[in-house]
Amino acid sequence: MSGDAKIIMCKAAVAWSPNQPLSVETVEVSPPKAGEVRIKIYSTGVCHTDAYTLGGLDPEGIFPVILGHEGAGVVESVGPDVTSVIPGDHVIPLYIPQCDTCKFCLSGKTNLCSKISHVRPRDTRVKSGYSSEYDALNAMLRQAKNSDIVVVAGDMNAVTDEVNARICKARAAFANLRHLWRQNGLSLNLKGRVYQATVRAVLSYGCETWPTRAADLGRLQVFDNRCLRTIAGVGWCRQIHKEAVRKRVFGCATGTSIEECVQHQKLLWSGHVLRMPNHRLPKRVLFSMPNPEWCKQRGGQPMTWQRSMKEMTKRLGAFGATRLPGWGPRDPHCAWLETLQDVAANRCQWRSCCQFVSRLPE
């Protein structure tokens, strides 16, 4: 658990019975358990489902209840075993959780996620502050956004601010060119080149310094796949692999995924920084080694740029010792960095390494 999380008292709009006005009460929010996250809610919405339940029409409706399942906030604390988010992350808890790995989540049809076996856990985590018996208030789908602070299951996805901003900008760029994607007189290959120069350039802008996580890359891939299917005129009812769609649009053997583009840009930039003198600020910031006296924070460790680069470049060993001059015994604490320094000194060799590593399977 992050820090020593304690019970928090907050305000919530409580529905005590059907067809009755909501009552603003003081409720008690327990610390998050294993796999759970406690969130400070900053904005919320009202859905027809809330009115449906409040009207007593929902056969699964249980009262009293704190309604609401559309909202956004900031992580206040996390329970044990939660590594996907850390306190301070901006998050959007999902009405129906998604795994980001099944074919539906990767296609964009996240409401059809095939790996989620339940949407209404029965154990409640919110108690009334006014009841002498602390009657349990059933948080609807355990994501009651009409409360200041809620505890939800930790399988949601954090919204990285930079990645989210890039997707929003790229979506606007793609929408501005929708007349171009609909023209039948242009070849798919030409549309693919325009897409690379306009939408993907916006989507990956500044990716050289992203400490990209699997969730971030998953979001980028989902957006990229949606755009390419629209350009290729492939409906969601057709089961076509994303590589086949990329091949159809870009015209190359398998097409270049957005993940490969991001990795390639990060590798090229890291090589450029490694060739800088040691006193240059980018090199001092990006490649400074952590102080051995520093202590790790409790709970999940955030993905840093150095960690992501270390994971990516460890696959350079596939080249073999004869193809990488200087590859050999290293200081175990910074072996990967010393190897990169040697390889990046040769620009031609570094470009080959970048192409090779960015296309290697995980």
Give per-residue pLDDT as tens, 267-308.
888 888 888 888 888 877 777 665 555 555 554 455 577 777
pLDDT-derived band at 90 (thresholds 50, 70, 90) equals: confident
Structure tokens at 114: 């095939």
Residues 171 and 227 in one domain: yes
Residues 45 and 100 in one domain: yes
Residues 240 and 289 in one domain: no
**345 vs 142 pLDDT, higher one:** 345
pLDDT-derived band at 139 (thresholds 50, 70, 90) equals: very low
Q: Which of 214, 213, 221 is nearest to 305 (CA)?
A: 213
**DSSP-assigned states of every residue in 210-253:** ----HHHHHHHHHHHHHHHHHHHT--TTS---HHHHHHHHH-SS
Residues 143 and 195 in one domain: no
Q: What per-residue confidence (pLDDT) applies to 331? A: 60
Residue in the block written with tokens 């030409």: 190
pLDDT beyond 80 at 103: no
Residues 131 and 171 in one domain: no
**DSSP-assigned states of every residue in 48-97:** HHHHHHHTT--TT--SSEE---EEEEEEEEE-TT--S--TT-EE---SS-
What's the maximum distance between 2 C-alpha atoms anywhere in the chain?
Answer: 77
- Cα→Cα distances 204→153, 199, 260, 357, Å: 31, 9, 11, 18
Per the structure, the count of domains in the chain is 3
Residues 23 and 83 in one domain: yes
Residues 74 and 124 in one domain: yes
Residues 222 and 147 in one domain: no
Give per-residue pLDDT as tens, 219-239.
888 889 889 988 988 876 777
Q: Is residue 215 in a domain?
A: yes
Give CB contacts under 8 A, 24+ apart, made by 87-92: 87/2, 87/3, 89/158, 89/159, 90/158, 90/159, 90/161, 91/37, 91/39, 91/156, 91/157, 91/158, 91/159, 92/156, 92/157, 92/159
pTM over 0.75, yes/no? no
Q: Which of 107, 102, 360 is nearest to 221 (CA)?
A: 107
Of the candidates 129, 153, 177, which is a domain's last residue? 153
pLDDT beyond 50 at 133: no
Where in the sequence is the domain holding 344, given as residue range(s)? 285-293+304-358
Q: Is residue 245 in a domain?
A: yes
**If you average pLDDT over every residue of the chain, what do you get?**
73
